[in-house]
Structure formats: structure tokens, C-alpha cells
Amino acid sequence: MITLAHLQVLSAALFCVGLYGVLARRNAVLILLAIELMLNAVNINLIGFAAFVDHEQFVGQVLAIFVITVAAAEVGLALAVLLRLYRSRASVRVDDLNMLKW
């Protein structure tokens, strides 16, 4: 039988996989994909709580819809920024993007 703890552990594991990706990869597109993993981990948690705890309102499902919307907007914008960067710097490695450092 599935319990809430199953979902919480899965969500935590997926979040940590994404965290490793964000911290350890250098390619900006891969970092973006890892952020998507982390957002999905949050969504699993929200929907798990909606299904197990909140039997009146199911607020978690509505919040998950908003998270998916914001994730879509984020990917679109971030990829446009990366295209722009690639055009002007010929690289999307985050190590090369240190123009704001002094």
C-alpha cells in the first residue's frame, strides 16, 4: 500500500538528483534540465499531499498547475537567453559567463 512517506522519499530523491545536476554540471542547458527535475519533485510532493491529506479542496493539484505554468514560462525565457548568449559568446558553459564579475 502506498503511503505518503513513499511519495515524500521519492520527491526528496528526485530533488537531490536535480540539485546535483545544478551544482556539478557546466552546460547551462543541462542545468536548466536539472531545474526542471527539481520542479517536478516539488510537484510530486504537492500532489501527494493533495491526494493523502487534503480531501476537501485538493489545493495541491491547483498549485501544481501553477508550478507547471511557471516552469513552461521559465524554460521558454531561459532558452531564449541562452540562444542570445550563444550568439554573442559562442558558448553556454556557465564558467564562461562571468561578465558581471569584477
> Residue 4 to residues 16, 53, 62, 63, 65: CA-CA distances in angstroms?
18, 9, 19, 18, 20
Number of residues that bind another protein (CB under 8 A): 69
- Tell me whether residue 43 is exposed, middle or buried, using C-beta atoms within 10 angstroms of its C-beta: 0 to 12, 13 to 18, 19 or more: buried
Q: Which residues pair with 93 in a beta bridge?
A: 27
Q: Residues 45-74: x/- map of binding to another protein (CB under 8 A)?
A: --xx-xxxx-x-xx--xx-xxx-xxxxxxx
Does residue number 96 form part of the binding site for another protein (CB under 8 A)?
no
Please give the residue ranges that form the binding site for another protein (CB under 8 A). Answer: 1-10, 12-21, 23-27, 29-30, 32-34, 36-37, 40, 43-44, 47-48, 50-53, 55, 57-58, 61-62, 64-66, 68-77, 79-84, 86-88, 92
